[in-house]
Amino acid sequence: MRLVNLTVHWLRHMHDQEDLVVIKNTRWANLPAEVLRDVMKKLDESESTWPDRKQVVACAGVCKTWRLMCKDIVKSPEFSGKLTFPVSLKQPGPRDGTIQCFIKRDKSNMTYHLYLSLSPSLLVESGKFLLSAKRTRRATYIEYVISMDADNISQSSSSYIGKMRSNFLGTKFVIYDTAPAHNGCQIMSSPNRSRRFSSKKVSPKVPSGSYNIAQVTYELNLLGTRGPRKMHCIMHSIRALALGQPAPLMNLSAASVPHR
């Protein structure tokens, strides 16, 4: 137990990813699997909030052994209620709780930044950056490019992960991903579509592009977009695990979930 505590204390004082990479060439890389597991579990439990949770992410980047150990220990947001790795942003959230986030909008350049709220009192002052989006108005629709980079928001960037497109009235939104949600997912076809997507974000076995994964429709009311509106969310593919079923993946042609 003392060794575990000392190791956790040492990891907490690492300044950045480069400090942890040196572990590869030291005896820390040869820690017994049982000790390493105890260290990772304690670090995962103690560093439960950002910015301290960055130590867990840094440990996952040390080597393949540490990465697999972190992947096995760190639970998805559905079960832990925590956002840890970038892939967490595409996973279901907790069923019995919420993950509080907020959006900062810059009207001058039409950009939006999504942050994870670190505490209720810091709702508008600070937060953990998650995603960014840039709004572009076309002749018949509005498009939002979504990126994991706060500054470089473009489809040619390696941080580009998808986009959202709305109709002219802002009553229907279609969400596109760079990777297919399932094997039968159809790529978006357009005569003017550019193939400027990063191959790092998707599997080399599937073509890179824009895949229609979900859509949201709003019902108009007397107040237009300023008042409360009923909306319908449709996801074309939902993992059966999220529905409490045994199959690894279930494709739904139309899974409509009305929400007020």
63 and 140 within one domain: no
For residue 92, is it within any domain? Answer: no
For residue 214, is it within any domain? Answer: yes
User: In CATH, what number is assigned to the domain containing residue 131?
Assistant: 2.40.128
Alpha-carbon separation of residue 36 from 9, 48, 60, 74, 222 (angstroms): 14, 18, 12, 14, 60
For residue 242, is it within any domain? Answer: yes
Helix or strand run (H / E) with residue 175: strand 172-177
224 and 135 within one domain: yes
For residue 26, is it within any domain? Answer: yes
For residue 122, is it within any domain? Answer: yes
**What's the structural domain count of the chain?**
2
DSSP letters for 45-108: HH--STTTTHHHHHHHTS-HHHHHHHHHHSPPHHHH----SGGGGGS---TTS---EEEEEETT
Q: Are 157 and 224 in contact (CB under 8 A)?
A: no
115 and 65 within one domain: no
For residue 164, is it within any domain? Answer: yes
174 and 232 within one domain: yes
150 and 35 within one domain: no
50 and 131 within one domain: no
Pairing of the two strands 111-116 and 160-167: unpaired
Digitized pLDDT (tens) for each residue of the chain, 260 residues in all: 444 444 444 454 554 444 455 555 566 666 777 888 888 888 888 877 777 788 888 888 777 888 888 888 888 888 888 888 888 888 888 888 888 888 899 999 999 999 988 766 655 556 789 999 999 998 899 999 999 999 899 988 888 999 999 998 888 999 999 877 665 555 555 544 444 444 444 444 444 568 888 999 988 777 766 667 788 999 887 665 555 544 343 344 444 444 43
For 229, the domain range is 101-259
pTM: 0.69
* AA letter at 206: V
121 and 15 within one domain: no
As a whole number of angstroms, the distance between CA 122 and CA 12 comes to 24
Q: Which residues contact 3 (CB under 8 A, 6 or more apart)?
A: 35
